[in-house]
Amino acid sequence: MSHAPAWDHRLGRLVARPLARAGIHPNAVTTAGLVLGLAAGALFALGGRSEAEWAALLFVLAAFLDHVDGEVARMSGKCSRFGHYYDHVAAVISYAAMFVGIGVGHHAGPYGEWAVVAGVLSGVAVAVIMSFRLKMSVDLGSEAIRQPNFLGFEPEDALYVVAPLAWLDRYTVIDEMFSFIVAAAVGAPAFLIWVLSQRQRGASGIPETKSGS
């Protein structure tokens, strides 16, 4: 599989360049992404279709900024341990807020408490996966968490689908957003179990010696 940068990473570099030249601190970009992520979760939790459409847009922007801040840090020479962990915490909060918000927003619908359970389960599983990947990168190096790349897309890019699903929800009889969190509630824990088992066995694709980032 290709190891060329994913499309969002490439676009992130283009956006990061003028920000770095303007002296914008990477932690400020991280904070902006965190605020957008929290706003997205809050709008999803309101349960309205218009709110969900705006929430989806804000979440996509937040997820995109998660790629921009690191590029700004590298271009401006402002990489730091704090910034690395702050970036991770902000991303975890944003992603968890999105899933939990969708679940809460569907609470008043026909799914009731199950919607909240699905949202929380998805959010927690994704947060644990991201935290475990961070530990792997610290222990084994960045190569240990390199994702498969197919035509410029990585597995985590699947989260961007929340936007078209939210916008499509208005025009179909199928509840696209609920289907999304149910799929995530099943898929995320399953993926977490797989990652843990692969790491435990030192399986293929995860080097046993630390490599440089």
pLDDT band for position 73 (cuts 50, 70, 90): very high
Q: What is the pLDDT of residue 142?
A: 61
Can you name the residues that pair with 153 across neighbouring β-strands?
A: 150
Q: What is the mean pLDDT of the chain?
A: 79
The DSSP 8-state label assigned to residue 208 in this structure reads: S
Q: How do residues 14-37 score in pLDDT, each as one tens digit?
A: 889 999 999 999 999 999 999 999
Structure tokens, 131? 């935290």
For residue 193, what are its two tokens? 């179990």
| Claim: this prediction has a pTM higher than 0.75 | yes
Tokens 């969900």 — which residue?
52
The predicted structure's pLDDT at residue 174: 52
End-to-end CA distance of the chain: 20
Domains defined for the chain, CATH in brackets:
7-201 (1.20.120.1760)
